[in-house]
Amino acid sequence: MARPIWSGTISFGLVNIPIRLHNAIKNKNLHFHQLRKKDGCRIRLKKVCSTDGAEVMAEDIVKGYEVSPDQYVVVSSEELTSVTPKASRSIEIEDFVLMKQIDPIYFEKSYYLIPEPTSMKAYRLLLEAMETSKRVAVAKFVLRNKQYLAVLRPNGQTITLSTLFFADEIISPDELSDLAAGDTQPTEKELKIALQLVESLSNDFQPEKYHDEYREKVLNLIKNKAEGETVTAPAQVQNQPGKIIDLMAALEASVSAIKKQKTSPKRKRVHALQNKR
């Protein structure tokens, strides 16, 4: 069983609910080491001075914040400690809000909150209160000397905690280039066929249906090479400049292609097998 990465309490008014924080995400990123090409020996990175190129030992390195080009304010570890959030074992609920009010752009990383055996009743009370009210809890807590904003929400029989970005970390669309240039308003006919395309592609969300195809291909490549197989890279295909196409024609062709795919004999057989199951 996975070990908790943190333990503490959810503060819900005057109610404290002891919980354990578990990772909800498996990191499946592929990590490569740098090797010397001729003999495969591992490359170690050294920290060197940008002025004289001399290697600098860890004990001689301090933290500096750049306030202007090549101008730094040096901050000691003791000074940083003095402003570090006070260590706390409490997830302090500050507000209950409607989930639809939180733009998904704010979500960062998710965890499971598992109750201690003695707090099961209070845990279930909070979970069912959020389900009944259709609201989620906005809270703050400290993890590894950093303060986080978070949202607690019911997830079946479990409360899930997701850390959020703070508002000043989000780039506003207003800071991007003009999105309203030119005549971009769709016609009624274009919107109608676009809605048909959306409808033809509509389905229930099934996360297990989607795979990281690149990661799977890289792992297969590594497996084959480890077993001594020679892998030949395919010839590179030059990207052709995108053609300007008629929007309406493209929409109609898309709807037609999807209808044809759905009525193909192979697809019908697959659906028949799924229905039998």
Domain range annotation of the chain: 6-25+84-169
Instruction: Please state which architecture CATH assigns to domain 6-25+84-169.
Output: Beta Barrel (2.40)
Torsion angle, alpha carbons of 156, 160, 165, 170, to 10: -10
- List, for residues 37-48, the tens digit of each pLDDT value: 999 999 988 899
pLDDT digits (tens, 9 = 90+) for 146-189: 899 999 999 999 999 999 999 999 998 888 776 655 567 888 99
**CA dist list (Å): 233 to 236, 237, 265:** 9, 12, 35
Q: What is the per-residue pLDDT for 177?
A: 72
Give the model's pLDDT for residue 248.
83
pLDDT attached to residue 71:
93
Band of the pLDDT at 212, cuts 50, 70, 90?
A: confident
